[in-house]
Chains A and B, each alone.
Chain A
Amino acid sequence: MLRTSDYACQYMTHDSPVHRLGVGWKIAISTVLSALAVGARTPGELLALVLVTLAYYFAARLTPFDLWRDTRFFVFQALLVTGLYCLIHGVAGGLWPGIRTSVQIILFYIPGAVLIRTTRTGDMMRGLRKVVPYRLSFLVFVSIRFVPFFLRELDEIMAAQRLRGARLLPRQLMNPRNWGDLFHCLLLPLMVRALKTATDVSLSAEAREFGTRKERTFFDGSRHAETASEALNSQQPPSPVVLQPCCHGSAAKKKGIS
């Protein structure tokens, strides 16, 4: 069993037929396979669907270990469902319905896992921009962009608080009596940092007139530089920002908007 991914549904860079498919095709295949998983009832149908779903999964050059990573979340559910069926109908009467339902649920989610594992975040984002309003997608991308920043902050705060004697080691946090330190020595300073960062980022964006227009705009640095140099020559203060409304494709390239 080849170990490849670090966590469930991690994007894997491979050159496979599934990777080369467009996002729309992958969503269509996932929808069809998931719908079939819900409708399968007989052992024959279920077996055929298991084979098709696994063929789709391994066509993406994913390993059995990846499959385990993606489906182990559902193992607890499967045990619970099968256990409940056996409890009510006895082992003879409850085993098959329990296993069938558990397999159906797992089969329902596997195509979605293939979609996430074979589609780049950039492609996903491009798709998202088409359906989500730009102001909301801006907040989504900012929250993703700040993940490494706050991870770093978290490490720094944790190191500083540990030096001050806070009980923040993983084995110390297993004891609920130390959870007070977790909230007051780690999460409170982190929240203060978030408040300060939100103020700084919003001031910075608003200084560039971000959000003044309803449509999406782009900060045109080159034009700003031109106006700044003109102002320098004529001893006049430069205009603060240069905004361009949203332009796509060649029109944007012609205007030099990034």
Chain B
Amino acid sequence: MTHANERVFLWRRFTLREGLLLGFCATFIILTRAGLRLHLHLPGHVMFFTMFFYVLARGCVPKIGATTLVGLIVSLASILLGMGTKGPMVFVKFVLPAVLVDLAGIIYPAFVTGMLACAIVGAVASAVRSVSDIGLEWLSGMEEEIILRKTVISALMFALYGGLGSLAVPSIVRRLRKNGLIDQGTGEER
């Protein structure tokens, strides 16, 4: 919740408290990515918690650019912590799905409280991540048909996990709102 006496800290829209909260969402994504990388080796599974925290960040700070900020912080922190195996492509793979969640928030601000809407947004935003490899593959001389098939396979896997992760958000947002911990979601966009 934004208090009346809070100063705007970043991008003319986020207070320091909101910025920190979004930073903590990025921390949780890093923690879950680090945890999963040690235990599971299923392709696409990282999107489960990534998308959960992206959509939850949008629910906690219902402002345009909130998820993009989380994506940007995760990208920079991943590079600093040595988790950016894909080099500069880390920005594309984290920021692109985040921008899509923000776009969904502009089109339908109340999507964080609907399970179906959350699942669709989560699945679509996760699937978009698979395009991050296309540029390199095309430059490497890979055939377009192979690129397309590979992208479809990885998009399906990302979408499956991203959609599942986003499904849990509405109930958590409702409980946080009921206890007055976050904005009540009046649909007001800033």
Binding site for B on A (CB under 8 A): 7-11, 30, 34, 37-38, 41, 70, 73, 76-77, 80-81, 84-85, 88, 97, 100-101, 104-105, 108-109, 112-113, 116-117, 121, 124-125, 128, 132, 135-137, 139-140, 142-144, 146-147, 150-151, 154, 170, 179, 183-184, 187-188, 190-192, 194-195, 197-199, 201-202, 205-206, 210-212
Contact = CB atoms under 8 A, between A and B. Distances in A.
Residue in A73, A121, A170, A202 with the greatest tally of chain B CB atoms within 10 Å: A202
19 contacts: A7-B34, A7-B37, A8-B37, A30-B87, A38-B140, A81-B150, A100-B141, A121-B80, A139-B73, A142-B23, A144-B30, A144-B77, A144-B81, A179-B168, A188-B175, A192-B176, A194-B25, A195-B176, A202-B15
Given A8-B85, A109-B86, A84 B150 contact: yes
Given A125-B80, A192-B181, A184 B27 contact: no
Residue in B31, B52, B87, B175 with the greatest tally of chain A CB atoms within 10 Å: B87
Given A7-B37, A81-B142, A140-B23, A105 B81 contact: no
Given A81-B150, A139-B69, A191-B172, 10 more contacts: A30-B87, A76-B43, A112-B86, A135-B19, A142-B20, A143-B24, A147-B27, A150-B27, A183-B168, A206-B16
Nearest to B169: A183
Contacts of B38: 7
A197 B181 CA distance: 12
Contact of B85 (A113, A128, A190, A191): A113
Interface in B1-53: 6-7, 9-10, 15-28, 30-31, 34, 37-39, 43, 52
Nearest to B48: A179
Given A183-B168, A198-B17, A105 B140 contact: yes
Contacts of B27: 143-144, 146-147, 150
Contacts of A7: 34, 37-38
B136 interface: yes
Interface in B132-176: 133, 136-137, 139-143, 145-146, 149-150, 153, 168, 171-172, 175-176
B76 interface: yes
Contacts of B149: 84
Contacts of A184: 171-172
Contacts of A34: 87
Contact of A194 (B28, B86, B139, B150): B28
A30 B60 CA distance: 39
A198 B143 contact: no
Contacts of A202: 6, 15-17, 20
Contacts of A85: 143, 146
Nearest to A193: B24
Residue in B38, B146, B150 with the greatest tally of chain A CB atoms within 10 Å: B146
